[in-house]
Structure 1
Amino acid sequence: MAYTRGNLAVKEKAHERGNQSQRYRETTKVVTRRAALPVREKLLYMFTIMFCVAVMGGLLWQNANLYNMKREMYNLNTDMQKLNAEMNELTIQKEKLEEQIPQEAAKLGYTESNEEGFHVQISTESGSKTANSEDAAKVARK
């Protein structure tokens, strides 16, 4: 029992006891301070980040080079396809022109012989002369 106003026989009232505890409630708050990072640890983190950035930059540069090479290959393939199509057209034109050679030669005065090549009938003031294709080529050059 508690001593109340000089009388030990008197009981303490419960509501008075509750109010006193609520009025003077003590609370403590624990505050923890984080210590600053040491310089060595800061340098370690900084170099780790710089290493990661350098590796990513290298990978990016390598991928850019691969992309450029693939793009050049694609462009070369399309150019090759265009050139092949043009070559096919020129081959067809060549065959057509080769078929026209005998007709054009006949217009110019060449005649076919049993041997390979053409003979040309060249008329000059002194008379006519027969020449083979080699002689005709010489005359054509002059």
Structure 2
Amino acid sequence: MAYTRGNLAVKEKADERGYKAQRYRETTKVVTRRAPLPVKEKLLYMVTVLFCAAVMGGLLWQNASLYNVKRQMYNLNTDIQAISAEIKELTIQKEKLEEQIPQKAAELGYVEPVDEGFMIEVPANAKTGGNEDEITTARK
């Protein structure tokens, strides 16, 4: 090694040493290999994914059942509205027919009673077990 101006750490020139500088440069590439995941860690990840999928499936199932209930409610409401309209129509038809009762009765020969109330014919001796030929009338 040469002594250069009081410093021994100075690098010598390649020409002074007697051999030429290299024309290529050696490079090394560091390859790092990842170690495979341990079995326990793989199982943990798999159980976590399965749990998340189960929770999502449960939520989906609950949503589907809720949708079905809402759809049934809607169908029942439409049925109720249709039946209500039919009841109104039948009520109107009933009132029209009730108005026609006296006219039809007169056509068939029925007459309205003069007195209010109704008459019941009861045999006179029904309670006593006597003669059944006698009939009395009672008014209510």
| TM bucket normalised to smaller | 0.5 to 0.7
Deviation, 1:3, is: 2.4
Work out the CA distance in 2 between the residues paired with 1:111 and 1:38.
Answer: 104
Work out the CA distance in 2 between the residues paired with 1:116 and 1:33.
Answer: 111
Q: Which residue of 2 aligns with 1:49?
A: 49
Against the structure 1 CA distance between its residues 36 and 4, is the aligned structure 2 distance closer, same or farther, given a 3 Å change threshold? closer
Q: Which residue of 2 aligns with 1:3?
A: 16
Aligned sequence identity (%): 71
Q: Which residue of 2 aligns with 1:115?
A: 116
Against the structure 1 CA distance between its residues 90 and 45, is the aligned structure 2 distance closer, same or farther, given a 3 Å change threshold? same
Q: Which runs of 5+ in 1 are unaligned?
A: 6-16, 118-142
Deviation, 1:68, is: 0.6
Give the 5 Å matches for 1:1-142. Answer: 2-3=15-16, 20-21=21-22, 23-113=23-113, 114-115=115-116
Work out the CA distance in 2 between the residues paired with 1:55 and 1:48.
Answer: 11
CA RMSD of aligned residues (A): 1.8
Q: Deviations for 1:13-35, whole angstroms, at most 9, x for unmatched residues?
A: xxxx7xx45x2212121111100
Q: Deviations for 1:39-75, whole angstroms, at most 9, x for unmatched residues?
A: 0000000000000000011011101101111111111
Higher relative contact order (CA 8 A, sep 6+): 2
Q: Which runs of 5+ in 2 are unaligned?
A: 1-12, 119-140
For 2:28, give the aligned amino acid.
Answer: T
TM-score, scaled to structure 2: 0.67
Deviation, 1:109, is: 1.2
Work out the CA distance in 2 between the residues paired with 1:33 and 1:116.
Answer: 111
For 1:100, give the aligned amino acid.
Answer: Q
TM-score, scaled to structure 1: 0.67
Work out the CA distance in 1 between the residues paired with 2:17 and 2:97.
Answer: 136
For 1:62, give the aligned amino acid.
Answer: Q
